[in-house]
A = this chain, B = another copy of it.
Amino acid sequence: MTSDYQAKKQFLASMISVYGRKPVLEMLEDHSLLIHKLHLADSNKPQGIIKDIIRAAESRDVEILYHDRKSLSRISRNMKQDQGVVVDVHNPKMNLLSKAALKSTEKTGQWLLLDNVTNPQNVGMIIRSVAAAGINGLIIPRQANASLNALVVKSSAGTLFKAPILLCDTVSEAIEIIQTQGLNIAVLAGEAKEDVFSFAATDGVGTVYVMGNESEGVSKETRKAATHALSIPMHNEVESLNVAVAASIVAYATQIS
C-alpha cells in the first residue's frame, strides 16, 4: 500500500496544472505535450473559447472532468484567475525530490536549488536555462518559490514541460535530503571569495547550487547549511546580477568547466 501511495504521489508530481482559458487552449493545441486531464467548472457555458477547448480535448482523447466552481478552484489553487478551466500537463522529467532522485552514479551530479525566487518570470527563465544547460536537475521547494503557473510556462518558453525538475514542499526539507545524500551545498553570494568557475572546474563531488531571493539573496537558514559560498566575478562596481542570469551562468559553468 505504501508503494502504491508513493507511485501515485510520484505520478501526480509529474503533473503541472495550467489554468486560464487561452493558456489551456494553447496547451491542448500543442501536440508535443502530454496532456493528462481537462478540468472544467460546470458553470462554464459551452460556447466560444470553452467550445474550442472541449473540441480540442475530444479530438485528442483527453479525459474531461466537470467540477463545481469550488472544487475546481481547489485544483487551480487560483480561483480569481483560473476562468473555470484547468489542464494537467505531464512532464516526464519532473518528479518528487528524494534521496533516490539525487543518486548520481558518477558522483558528479550538478543541481540548482531555488530558495525564495518569487518572480514567476525569473523562475520560468531559470527552468529554460537549466533544461538547456543539461544539468541533472532543478530543485523547487513549492512553498518558497513562485508557483508553476501560466506565467512561468510563458517565460520558460514551454520548457517547463521538458525540464528535469525535482519538487518538494520546503527548503529545509530539500536541505535535509541533500545533506543525507552527502552532496556539496554551494550558496551563491556576492561577497564570497571563491568563484563559481574555479569551483566548478576543480570539484569532483556532486553539488547543489543554491540561488536566493531577488532582493534578499540566499536565506540565513540555507547559508548555515552550506558547505561552500561562491560568487560570480563582477566588474564596473556592479553588485549583483539578475537571479535568472546568475542561475543560467552557474548552470553553464558546471557543464563547460
Kindly list 13 other residue pairs between chains A and B, CB separation below 8 angstroms, not including A128-B241, A252-B253. Answer: A125-B245, A129-B242, A129-B245, A132-B234, A132-B235, A132-B236, A134-B233, A159-B236, A163-B236, A164-B236, A244-B245, A248-B249, A249-B249
For chain A, residues 221 to 257, give those with C-beta under 8 angstroms from any C-beta of chain B. Answer: 232-238, 240-242, 244-245, 248-249, 252-253, 255-256
Say whether A197 contacts B125, CB under 8 Å: no
A157 within 8 A of B: yes
A133 within 8 A of B: yes
List 24 A–B pairs whose Cβ atoms lie within 8 Å, in order of A's numbering: A125-B245, A128-B238, A129-B241, A129-B242, A129-B245, A131-B235, A131-B238, A132-B232, A133-B234, A133-B235, A134-B233, A134-B235, A157-B240, A162-B238, A164-B236, A233-B255, A244-B245, A245-B248, A248-B248, A248-B249, A249-B249, A249-B252, A252-B253, A253-B256
Say whether A236 contacts B134, CB under 8 Å: yes
For chain A, residues 47 to 94, give those with C-beta under 8 angstroms from any C-beta of chain B. Answer: 93
A236 to B242, CA, bound (A): 24
For chain A, residues 93 to 116, give those with C-beta under 8 angstroms from any C-beta of chain B. Answer: 93
Q: Given the complex, which residues of B lie within 8 Å of A249, measured CB to CB?
A: 248-249, 252
Q: Given the complex, which residues of B lie within 8 Å of A244, measured CB to CB?
A: 242, 245
When C-beta atoms are compared, the residue in chain B nearest to A235 turns out to be B134
A249 to B76, CA, bound (A): 36
Say whether A236 contacts B93, CB under 8 Å: yes
A162 to B162, CA, bound (A): 38
Say whether B133 contacts A242, CB under 8 Å: no
A244 to B134, CA, bound (A): 19
A159 to B236, CA, bound (A): 9
Q: Given the complex, which residues of B lie within 8 Å of A237, measured CB to CB?
A: 162
Say whether B236 contacts A162, CB under 8 Å: yes
| Shortest distance between the CB of A117 and any CB in chain B (Å) | 15
A163 to B235, CA, bound (A): 10
